[in-house]
């Protein structure tokens, strides 16, 4: 860097410190370092050597299928989980269902930065103690499994490039992941994974419809669930305030729209407490009660105290919406025909994704009469044990993919139970 540019940056930093404070000055310094050092390269969650190409893939399948009913060994590829991760929790529900069906599972962890797999395994055991999967580093290779299941676009590339032994390959799709990005390289690389030929299991109709309309892929579609053992109505109580999940790095959760809407909401209802959770360090221009990271049980307690919450997601319907409903908090959800297909609730509040429309929806909910009666009705509308259908679907689909098509008798039983393929 030239001396004149260095002095210029020091002057800008000093002025920012005086006018906007230490936090803003630190942010500018971090942004400058980020740009200067090319740190954006680290945001691609995949080593370029692992990138596969659908036009070049020639992946082998086993010549002989195992006998139906035999114990299978099923691999899953994912990034190392953090405690409380919703996507990992949904994946582990499916893994647990396979284990309950008598199959062995292997968790192949894909850590681009080479973290200690023993540390990651401790997180798995702490956060999901009922899961018995063997936990290994995918860098050691993908072998010794009858099938392997990708769980996101980076892991799909890893499965395609490293899973070269004969096996069945599937793809558990929880979001339409090209929408994570602006149109560009990452968008195209994420989109291409749906053309790898893996059998796709779409969580919800929105993802299934997008796979068909955007890529021309027909997927097995299973339905969303809600853990009503955790998220449930705890009894009548006085409700007040609203709640919002704040994680600025998760753009698909509508952080900026949510904060702009809450600012307008606060101007109209300063008496209503605004609760946020997810990240303790967020700096918002209105008063909030920041709970930081909450366990599911703590989150359920919060949802039992609030009137409404923001539950936006732009790549699939958010699990948060139904979890709020189960506890009696009314979710404000960004409106789209895709999302409505996965949340057919008369109690959800649908809003155009603009700050004003979201604020209007929140205001209408806190201004309504009979708030607790509505909360109880909303909670009662959520079915119990809702993950069981999805778990049963995943077990059936994986078994059919590995064993081969079922006999006509078994197919008749599957069809009567609602085959979504």
Range in 74-78, 154-158, 336-340, 417-421 with the lowest mean pLDDT: 417-421
Mean pLDDT of the region 186-212: 97
CA 40 to CA 47: how far, in whole Å? 13
Confidence tier at 418 by pLDDT (50, 70, 90): very low
Summarize the confidence of residues 153-164 as an average pLDDT.
Answer: 97
pLDDT tens for residues 341-389? 888 899 999 999 999 999 999 999 999 999 999 999 999 999 887 899 9
Strand pairing of 242-245 and 220-222? unpaired
pLDDT band at 26 (very low <50, low <70, confident <90, very high): low
For range 233-262, the mean pLDDT: 92
Considering only residues 346 and 418, tell me which one the structure prediction assigns the higher pLDDT.
346
DSSP assignment of 10-27 equals HHHHHHHHHHH-HHHHHH
DSSP-derived secondary structure letter, 212: I
Give the list of residues 6+ apart from residue 119 with CB closer than 8 angstroms, or none.
none
Q: Which residue did the predictor score with more confidence, 363 or 4?
A: 363
Q: What backbone torsions phi and psi does residue 29 show, to the nearest 5 degrees?
A: -65, -40
Q: Is the dihedral of CA 54, 60, 65, 70 positive or negative?
A: negative
Question: Is residue 406 very low, low, confident or very high in pLDDT (cuts 50, 70, 90)?
Answer: confident
C-alpha distances in Å from residue 176, one per residue of 16, 57, 201, 324, 386: 40, 22, 12, 23, 22
Burial class of 151 by CB neighbour count within 10 A (0 to 12, 13 to 18, 19+)? buried
Does residue 254 have a pLDDT over 80?
A: yes
* DSSP reduced 3-state for 307: coil
Q: What is the pLDDT of residues 275-284, one digit of tens each?
A: 999 988 888 9
**Beta bridge mates, 147:** 74, 168
Cα dihedral 341→417→172→198 (10° resolution): -110
Higher pLDDT, 227 or 28: 227
- Mean residue pLDDT of the chain comes to 90
CA dist., res. 198 & res. 279, Å (int)? 35
Helices (H), 193-281: 205-210, 255-268
* Residue 34: per-residue pLDDT: 39
**Confidence (pLDDT) at 320:** 94
Which uninterrupted H or E stretch holds 106?
A: strand 104-109
Q: How far is CA 54 from its chain centroid?
A: 25
Task: Report in angstroms the alpha-carbon separations of 382 from 37, 323, 327, 376.
Answer: 49, 9, 9, 10
Q: At what angle do helices 388-403 and 86-100 cross, to 10 degrees?
A: 60
Q: What is the pLDDT of residue 6?
A: 55
Q: Quick one: pLDDT band at residue 3, thresholds 50, 70, 90?
A: low
The predicted-structure confidence for 35-72, as pLDDT tens digits, reads as follows: 454 444 446 689 999 999 999 999 999 999 999 999 99
Note the pLDDT tens digit of each residue in 287-302: 999 999 999 999 999 9
Report pLDDT for 251. Answer: 82
Q: For residue 238, how far is the Cα from the chain centroid? A: 31
355 and 333 Cβ atoms separated by less than 8 Å: no
Question: According to the model, what pLDDT value does residue 384 have?
Answer: 81
Identify which of 9-13, 15-19, 238-242 has the greatest average pLDDT. Answer: 238-242
Q: Give pLDDT, residue 39.
A: 42
* Domains (range + CATH), the chain: 48-222 (3.40.50.11090), 242-380 (3.40.50.2000)
Percentage helix, strand, coil for the chain under 3-state DSSP, each rounded to 5: 45, 15, 40
Query: Is the predicted pLDDT of residue 27 greater than 60, yes or no?
Result: no
The least confident of 95-109, 190-204, 397-411 is 397-411
pLDDT in tens, 124-148: 999 999 999 999 999 999 999 999 9
Q: What is the mean pLDDT of residues 160-164?
A: 95
- CA-CA distance, 134 to 120, in Å (whole number)? 12
Question: CB under 8 Å to 283, separation ≥6 — which residues?
Answer: 23
7, pLDDT greater than 60: no
pLDDT at 159 over 80: yes
Starting at the earlier edge strand, list the strands of the sheet with 220-222: 134-137, 104-109, 73-78, 147-150, 168-173, 199-203, 220-222
What proportion of the chain, given as a percentage, has pLDDT over 90? Answer: 74
CB half-sphere exposure, 397, CA atoms < 13 A? 29
* C-alpha span between 325 and 406 (Å, rounded): 38
Residues forming a β-bridge with 199: 170
Q: What residues have CB less than 8 Å from 328, skipping those under 6 apart? A: 233, 239, 303, 304, 372, 375, 376, 378, 379
Mean pLDDT of 243-253: 87
Residue 404 region, left (φ>0) first, then alpha (ψ -120 to 50), else beta? left
């Amino acid at each position: 860097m030239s001396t004149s540019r260095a002095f210029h940056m020091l002057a800008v930093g000093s002025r920012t410190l005086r006018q906007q404070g230490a936090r803003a000055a630190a942010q500018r310094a971090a942004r400058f370092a980020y740009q200067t050092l090319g740190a954006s390269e680290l945001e691609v969650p995949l080593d370029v050597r692992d990138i596969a190409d659908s036009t070049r893939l020639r992946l082998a399948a086993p010549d002989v299928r195992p006998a139906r009913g035999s114990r299978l060994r099923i691999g899953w590829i994912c990034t190392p989980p953090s405690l409380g991760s919703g996507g990992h929790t949904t994946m582990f529900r499916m893994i647990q269902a396979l284990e309950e069906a008598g199959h062995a599972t292997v968790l192949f962890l894909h850590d681009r930065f080479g973290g200690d797999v023993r540390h990651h395994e401790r997180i798995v055991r702490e956060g999901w103690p009922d899961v018995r999967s063997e936990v290994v580093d995918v860098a050691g290779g993908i072998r010794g499994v009858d099938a392997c299941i990708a769980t996101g676009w980076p892991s799909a590339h890893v499965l395609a490039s490293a899973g070269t032994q004969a096996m069945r390959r599937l793809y558990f799709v929880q979001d339409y992941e090209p929408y994570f990005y602006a149109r560009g390289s990452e968008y195209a690389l994420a989109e291409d994974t749906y053309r790898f030929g893996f059998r796709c299991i779409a969580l919800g109709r929105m993802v299934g419809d997008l796979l068909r309309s955007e890529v021309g892929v027909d997927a097995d579609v299973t339905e969303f669930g809600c853990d009503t053992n955790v998220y449930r109505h705890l009894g009548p109580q006085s409700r007040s305030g609203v709640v919002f999940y704040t994680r600025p790095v998760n753009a698909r959760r509508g952080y900026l729209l949510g904060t702009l809407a809450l600012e307008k909401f606060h101007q109209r209802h300063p008496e209503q407490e605004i609760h946020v959770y997810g990240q303790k360090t967020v700096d918002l221009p209105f008063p909030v009660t920041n709970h930081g990271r909450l366990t599911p049980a703590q989150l359920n307690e919060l949802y039992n105290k609030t009137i409404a919450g923001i539950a936006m997601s732009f790549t699939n319907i958010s699990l948060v919406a139904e979890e709020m409903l189960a506890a009696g908090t009314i979710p404000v959800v960004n409106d789209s025909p895709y999302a409505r297909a996965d949340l057919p609730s008369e109690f959800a509040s649908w809003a155009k994704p603009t700050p004003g429309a979201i604020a209007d929806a929140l205001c209408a909910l806190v201004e309504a009469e009979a708030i607790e009666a509505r909360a109880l009705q909303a909670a009662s509308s959520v079915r119990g044990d809702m993950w069981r259908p999805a778990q049963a679907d995943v077990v059936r689909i994986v078994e059919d993919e590995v064993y081969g098509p079922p006999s006509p008798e078994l197919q008749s039983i599957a069809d009567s139970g609602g085959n979504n393929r």
